[in-house]
Amino acid sequence: MANIAAHTLMFLSAVLFAIMLEADVTATMIIGLLLFICVVSLGRFMTLRTWVAVCCALCSASVAVPVWITLLPVLAADMGYRLFSTDVGRSRRLTFVSLPVIATFAVAFRRISEQAALTQDSTAHTLWSVPTFMCLALVVLTALAALAGATYAKEQAAFRRYRALADAQRERLRRSRSRISDMEAARSADMQRARLNERTRIAREIHDNVGHLLTRAIMLTNADEVVARSTGDNMHAKQFEEIVGALDEAMTMIRRSVHDLKDEGTDFTAMIEDATSVTGDARVQVHVTNGITQPPSNVAHCFAAVVREALTNTMRHSNATQVNVKLVDLPGLWQLIVQDNGGVIKRNARHTAQMRGIGLTDIEERARVLNGSAVCGPYGAGWRVFVSVPKESRNTNRVHEQIL
């Protein structure tokens, strides 16, 4: 918009100069105005060499048509801007930019000479006449227009360099911040992993040491109670029974604390990420949608093992290219869905006995231990493993966690 306004102002000034020189707007002036407007407007669509050749032809035509010299400042400004915006040699720039100035000076000198010959006045009177002053002003204006175009081109180039440097600086800052953020995230993940590992270690030590000692104490106390009752010492038998009850309560509290620590020490997201990385094949894309935040340890280990087994079966027995793993946390149960796009034709062609391998049996057994269910078979465009585990299994299946 700024370039359009500037060109409009320059063309209006050229028309004003033509009126002052010719005292009227002639058809020749209108033709020249339209021609110069076309060259200036279409110059962006021409190659530099073609455009410079057209501009040189206009300069030569302006010498033959003197009224067109009022339009040369516009052409000089455009030539200065475009030539100094490209990688043209310095000597060529100066040569081509000076052509409108030379053409204007030649026409101005010729008109001054013609006017001096017609008036037969003194040279001083000729120089101070209005037409002469206008011709000289056009020469100066053309030179200033060429200089302004070149200066504007250099300013634009400097501005582009500044923008490039600013963009590079912003990119460096963005990368630095990204690296810092990644380092912070990695540090936070390491700290979280260390905390989880420490909780798991504490739970294991309590289970292996204190749990076994309490179990031994319960067994010895039960034996003493049996001996006391067999000898008729009911008082000591009653005391031994109370001790056994207290030890059982302590064992229950320790077992509950151990399981809570074990649950908090289980990084379910990391387990699923590790389970989905078993493919190791670029042809199979695994998409995980995890809606479960922190399930119990037994459920977490069960789902991770099922995901690993399902992906292994997909790699071995199908030509799937995509596997969707979805984990859903519902109000009453947890669900796991592993769906691939390996097709059902080849799988349906197998015999049922061949399809029921050890892996599918193991998946069903893991779900059954948690009072859940597993359905494995053809579904949609491929094979689906669907596992559903009720949330009550967190408390009713503690004894089975050693199997998992």
Model confidence at 281: pLDDT above 80: no
- What are the backbone dihedrals phi and psi of residue 389, each rounded to the nearest 5 degrees, phi first? -125, 125
Lowest-pLDDT range of 2-11, 57-66, 212-221, 347-356: 347-356
CB 312 within 8 A of CB 349: no
From 208, 242, 264, the end of a domain falls on 264
Q: At what angle do helices 211-230 and 234-264 cross, to 10 degrees?
A: 160
Q: Residue 215: which domain range? A: 195-264
- Say if CB 387 and CB 336 are below 8 A apart: yes
Sorted by sequence, the CB contacts under 8 Å of residue 400 that are 6+ apart come out as: 298, 369, 370
Question: pLDDT tens digits for 193-218?
Answer: 777 677 767 766 776 677 777 777 88
Helix (H, G, I), strand (E, B) or coil at 333: strand
The residue among 365 and 279 whose pLDDT is bigger is 365
Same domain, 117 and 259: no
Evaluate the CA torsion angle 311, 312, 313, 314 in order and state its sign: positive
Question: Which DSSP state fits 325?
Answer: E
Number of domains in the chain: 3
Which whole-number Å values give the CA distances from 215 to 67, 88, 91, 218, 315, in the listed order?
116, 93, 100, 5, 45
Identify whether 14 is part of a domain: yes
* Amino acid identity, position 93: R
Q: Does some domain include residue 190?
A: no
Specify whether 7 is located in the same domain as 151.
yes
pLDDT value for 349: 42
Confidence of residue 181 (pLDDT cuts 50, 70, 90): confident
Q: State the number of CA atoms in the 13 A half-sphere of 179 facing the CB.
A: 5
Q: Are residues 216 and 335 in the same domain?
A: no
| 260 shares its domain with 272 | no
Query: Is pLDDT of 306 > 80?
Result: yes
Mean pLDDT of 294-299: 80
Q: Where does a domain end: 153, 168, 183?
A: 168
pLDDT for 124: 47
Please return the burial class of 225, using the count of CB atoms within 10 Å of its CB with bins 0-12, 13-18 and 19+. Answer: buried
Q: Give the pLDDT confidence score for residue 403 in this predicted structure.
A: 33
Question: Which residue in 4, 155, 135, 142 sits closest to 74, CA to CA?
Answer: 142
Structural domain contains residue 185: no
Strand, helix or coil for residue 128: coil
Q: Are residues 258 and 274 both part of a single domain? A: no
Q: What's CA 159's distance to the chain center, in Å? A: 28
User: Poorest-confidence range of 39-48, 140-149, 152-161?
Assistant: 39-48
Domain harbouring 330, CATH code: 3.30.565.10
Determine, yes or no, domain membership for 179.
no
Judged against a pLDDT cut of 50, whether residue 295 lies above it is answered with yes
Q: 126 or 55, which is more confident?
A: 55
Average confidence (pLDDT) over 221-240: 80
> 247 and 287 in one domain?
no
Q: Does residue 105 fall inside a structural domain?
A: yes
Q: Is the pLDDT of residue 402 over 60?
A: no
Share of the chain above pLDDT 70, in %: 77
pLDDT band per the 50, 70, 90 thresholds, residue 1 = very low
363 within some domain: yes
Backbone angles phi, psi at 288, to 5 degrees: -110, 130
67 plus 108 within the same structural domain: yes
Do 259 and 272 belong to one domain?
A: no
One-character DSSP codes across 31-44: HHHHHHHHHHHHGG
Position with higher pLDDT, 61 vs 118: 61
Can you give the pLDDT at residue 53? Answer: 85
Contacts of 165 (CB under 8 A, 6+ apart): none
Task: Tell me the pLDDT tens digit for each residue of 125-153.
Answer: 445 555 667 777 778 888 888 888 888 88
Note whether 327 and 291 are within 8 A (CB). Answer: yes
Same-domain check for residues 204 and 144: no
pLDDT above 90 for 227:
no
Beta strands in 23-114 (DSSP E): none
Q: Is residue 161 assigned to a domain? A: yes
81 with 223, same domain: the answer is no
Are 139 and 104 a contacting pair, CB within 8 Å?
yes
Q: In this predicted structure, what is the pLDDT of residue 178?
A: 82
- CA geometry: angle 208, 209, 212, nearest 5 deg: 80
Whether residue 182 lies inside any domain: the answer is: no
Residues 280 and 247 in one domain: no
**Same-domain status, 253 and 199:** yes
β partners of residue 326: 289, 337
